[in-house]
Amino acid sequence: MSSATILLLLRLLSAAALLSFLGVLFYFLYADLRATRLVAGGQPATFGSLRVLSNRTGNPPVDSLVELAPITTIGRHSRNNIVLNDTYISGEHALLSWRDSQWWLEDLGSRNGTLLNDIALTDPVVISAGDVIAIGEVRFKLELPGSREEGESGIRDSNS
The CATH fold of domain 48-143: Tumour Suppressor Smad4 (2.60.200)
Distance of CA 140 to the CA centre of its chain: 17
The order of strands in the sheet holding 65-67 is: 65-67, 49-54, 138-143, 132-135, 114-116, 119-120
pLDDT at 135 over 50: yes
pLDDT digits (tens, 9 = 90+) for 76-120: 999 999 998 888 889 999 999 988 888 999 999 888 899 999 999
Closest CA to 143 of 72, 70, 48, 66: 48
Q: What pTM was computed for the model? A: 0.62
Q: How many CB atoms lie within 10 A of CB 114?
A: 24
- State residue 58's pLDDT score: 73
pLDDT digits (tens, 9 = 90+) for 5-63: 999 999 999 999 999 999 999 999 998 888 777 666 655 556 788 999 988 877 888 88
Measure the CA–CA gap between 95 and 124, rounded to whole angstroms.
9
Per-residue exposure over 68-102, b if at least 16 CB sit within 10 Å of its own CB, e if not: beeebbbbbeeebebebebebbbebbbbbbbeeee
- State residue 160's pLDDT score: 40
- In sequence order, what are the residues at sequence separation of 6 or more whose Cβ sits closer than 8 angstroms to the Cβ of residue 65? 49, 50, 51, 52, 143
- State residue 137's pLDDT score: 87
pLDDT at 152 over 70: no
What residue spans define the domains of the chain?
Answer: 1-42, 48-143
